[in-house]
């Protein structure tokens, strides 16, 4: 191995340029010398590509540190959309043709592993906007939560045959759930547009047997062989032929998946306010330090982040530049896309206060389970920044610098696939773990925090 470790960095880099994501991560794990030469593949932007059949799949991972794109293993699905990501895994919502019941599938696009979660079997058609889940899901061991509609949270753990949908949560008039973050063992923090935080405590997980059909594991994303052959042969399918194919896939879903039948639900979960009703901090006007109680009303995008065990809210002004009239006659100008980061201090009043520095960390927010990463010295990543998705194109990868107070494009490599509309929806932080004989240290990227104790973000000083 010593001879391979002595490869010139330029040659090793050119070889790695031709490797796919799985082989690239394996190469980084070969030895300490290769790991020093090859930038980590994460964090990356997940790029979706769709076609005329309503098929929208994660097609590429655009790596910021490596400044290149990795093609992801293709899969077959219909009427699908990405509703979340965490670690190596992506959450895909699939609604088979002529069906109203969404099925959430957890997919590892590197290994092609697949975990089919029980369906949402209810008369109401729930619109799932975001899904978060426990790290390292397996077919018999998982936990997930989702935002359904505007005021409901759903959850599922092994042993259930369908998701449990909680009763509507009492929120302020015009308020609604906007973000979730999974943290710890069975704890999900839920955020509303007004900045109200609820804590969902999931029941204890029980293992279950994977779904099987005639002794074989059932797969919703993999196209049956007869349909795959037809799709390969058909160049210009007619509308009727396309409908027949989609009905065939839907029929497999409805008839053959045993997880679609039954009434068994999980044990009851509880959801409670982060701030108790007895605490005066439950009033938004007291929960947020001035003038951020006013700023909270105009920041249309809000996300939760957990960093080094601390809870943060990230607010972004999604409207045009606004000048606020402050109590006492002052004014505050808030440009479009300005971002505010507030840390939760449970022993203070007000308990949410803005921070101006992230202590060398950077946050990655979007439809993914929000991530924090210590970014000092990491190639392609700027410390003390918030990476978000939006911009003028509505799906660009953007970076907000806490020091300058401005957002710019994060500069991912251009991706062009003729005939396939593309968009980015979330950040993808696949695990990047290596243990070698040459280096005893283990390096891991985490979905919520970085290894080691760092300087936590501190409150702003006036």
Token pair 């968009």: residue: 423
pLDDT band at 235 (very low <50, low <70, confident <90, very high): very low
Give 170 or 26, the one with higher predicted confidence. 26
| Spatial contact of 81 and 66, defined as CB atoms under 8 Å apart | no
Tokens coding 79: 């009427």
Question: Which of 174-188, 419-433, 440-454 has the lowest average pLDDT?
Answer: 440-454
| Spatial contact of 433 and 449, defined as CB atoms under 8 Å apart | no
| Spatial contact of 199 and 304, defined as CB atoms under 8 Å apart | no
210: pLDDT strictly greater than 50: yes
> Which tens digit of pLDDT belongs to each residue from 328-341?
777 778 888 899 99
| Spatial contact of 389 and 426, defined as CB atoms under 8 Å apart | yes
Sequence-distant (≥ 6) Cβ neighbours of residue 421 within 8 angstroms? 49, 50
| Rounded Cα gap, residues 376 and 358, in angstroms | 11
Q: What is the mean pLDDT of residues 394-406?
A: 88
Question: Which of 139-153, 343-357, 430-444 has the lowest average pLDDT?
Answer: 430-444
> Which tens digit of pLDDT belongs to each residue from 49-103?
755 444 566 778 889 998 888 888 766 555 678 899 998 899 988 776 555 667 7
pLDDT band at 198 (very low <50, low <70, confident <90, very high): very high
Sequence-distant (≥ 6) Cβ neighbours of residue 393 within 8 angstroms? none
pLDDT band at 374 (very low <50, low <70, confident <90, very high): very high
| Rounded Cα gap, residues 159 and 94, in angstroms | 21
| Rounded Cα gap, residues 337 and 394, in angstroms | 12
For residue 280, the SS3 value is helix
> Which tens digit of pLDDT belongs to each residue from 102-154?
778 898 888 878 888 887 777 677 788 999 999 999 988 899 999 998 889 99
| Rounded Cα gap, residues 186 and 157, in angstroms | 10
| pLDDT at res. 437 | 32
If you average pLDDT over every residue of the chain, what do you get? 76
What beta strand segments (E) does 290-360 contain? 301-307, 310-316, 322-325, 331-334, 339-344, 352-357
| Rounded Cα gap, residues 42 and 67, in angstroms | 10
Sequence-distant (≥ 6) Cβ neighbours of residue 415 within 8 angstroms? 47, 60, 62, 69, 422
239: pLDDT strictly greater than 60: no
| pLDDT at res. 200 | 95
| pLDDT at res. 69 | 86
Per-residue buried b or exposed e for 167-184, using 16+ beta carbons within 10 Å of the residue's own CB: eebebeeebbbbbbbbbe
| pLDDT at res. 248 | 47
Sign (positive or negative) of CA dihedral 130, 106, 88, 136? positive
Q: What are phi and psi of 243, to 5 degrees?
A: -60, -40
Q: Indicate the burial class of 154 (C-beta count within 10 angstroms; 0-12, 13-18, 19 or more).
A: buried
Q: What is the dihedral of CA 422, 428, 430, 432, to 10 degrees?
A: 110
Q: What is the mean pLDDT of residues 371-381?
A: 91
Tokens coding 124: 């109401």
Q: What is the mean pLDDT of residues 353-361?
A: 95
For residue 363, the SS3 value is strand
């Amino acid at each position: 191995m010593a001879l391979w470790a002595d490869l010139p960095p330029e040659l090793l880099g050119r070889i790695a340029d031709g490797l796919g994501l799985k082989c690239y991560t394996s190469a980084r794990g070969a030895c300490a010398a290769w790991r020093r030469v090859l930038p980590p593949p994460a964090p990356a932007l997940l790029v979706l590509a769709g076609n005329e059949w309503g098929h929208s799949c994660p097609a590429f991972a655009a790596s910021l540190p490596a400044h290149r794109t990795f093609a992801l293993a293709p899969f077959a699905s219909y009427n699908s959309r990405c509703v979340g990501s965490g670690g190596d895994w992506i959450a895909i919502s699939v609604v088979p043709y002529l069906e109203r019941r969404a099925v959430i599938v957890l997919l590892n696009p590197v290994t092609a592993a697949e975990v089919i979660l029980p369906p949402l079997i209810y008369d109401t058609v729930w619109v799932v906007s975001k899904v978060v889940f426990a790290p390292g899901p397996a077919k018999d061991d998982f936990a997930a939560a989702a935002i359904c509609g505007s005021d409901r949270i759903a959850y599922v753990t092994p042993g259930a045959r369908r998701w449990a949908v909680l009763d509507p949560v009492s929120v302020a008039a015009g308020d609604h759930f906007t973000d979730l973050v999974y943290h710890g063992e069975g704890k999900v923090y839920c955020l509303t547009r007004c900045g109200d935080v609820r804590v969902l405590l999931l029941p204890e997980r029980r293992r279950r047997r994977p779904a099987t059909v005639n002794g074989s594991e059932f797969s919703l994303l993999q196209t049956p062989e007869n349909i795959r052959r037809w799709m390969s042969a058909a160049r210009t399918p007619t509308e009727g032929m396309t409908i027949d194919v989609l009905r065939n896939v839907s029929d497999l879903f409805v008839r053959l998946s045993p997880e679609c039948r039954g009434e068994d639900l999980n044990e009851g979960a509880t959801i409670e306010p982060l701030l108790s009703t007895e605490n005066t901090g439950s009033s938004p006007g007291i929960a947020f330090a001035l003038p951020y109680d006013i700023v909270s009303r105009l920041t249309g995008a809000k996300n939760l982040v957990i960093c080094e065990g601390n809870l943060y809210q990230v607010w972004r002004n999604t409207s045009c530049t606004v000048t606020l009239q402050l109590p006492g006659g002052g004014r505050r100008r808030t440009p479009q896309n300005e971002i505010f980061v507030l840390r939760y201090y449970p022993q203070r009043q007000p308990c949410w206060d803005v921070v101006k520095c992230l202590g060398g960390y950077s946050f990655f927010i979007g439809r993914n389970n929000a991530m924090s990463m210590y970014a000092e010295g990491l190639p392609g990543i700027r410390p003390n920044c918030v990476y978000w998705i939006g911009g003028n194109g509505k799906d660009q990868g953007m970076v907000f610098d806490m020091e300058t107070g401005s957002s710019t494009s994060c500069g991912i490599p251009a991706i062009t696939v003729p005939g396939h509309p593309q968009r980015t929806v979330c950040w993808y932080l696949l695990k990047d773990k290596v243990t070698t004989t040459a280096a005893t240290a283990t390096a891991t990227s985490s979905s919520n925090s970085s290894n080691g104790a760092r300087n936590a973000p501190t409150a702003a000083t006036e």
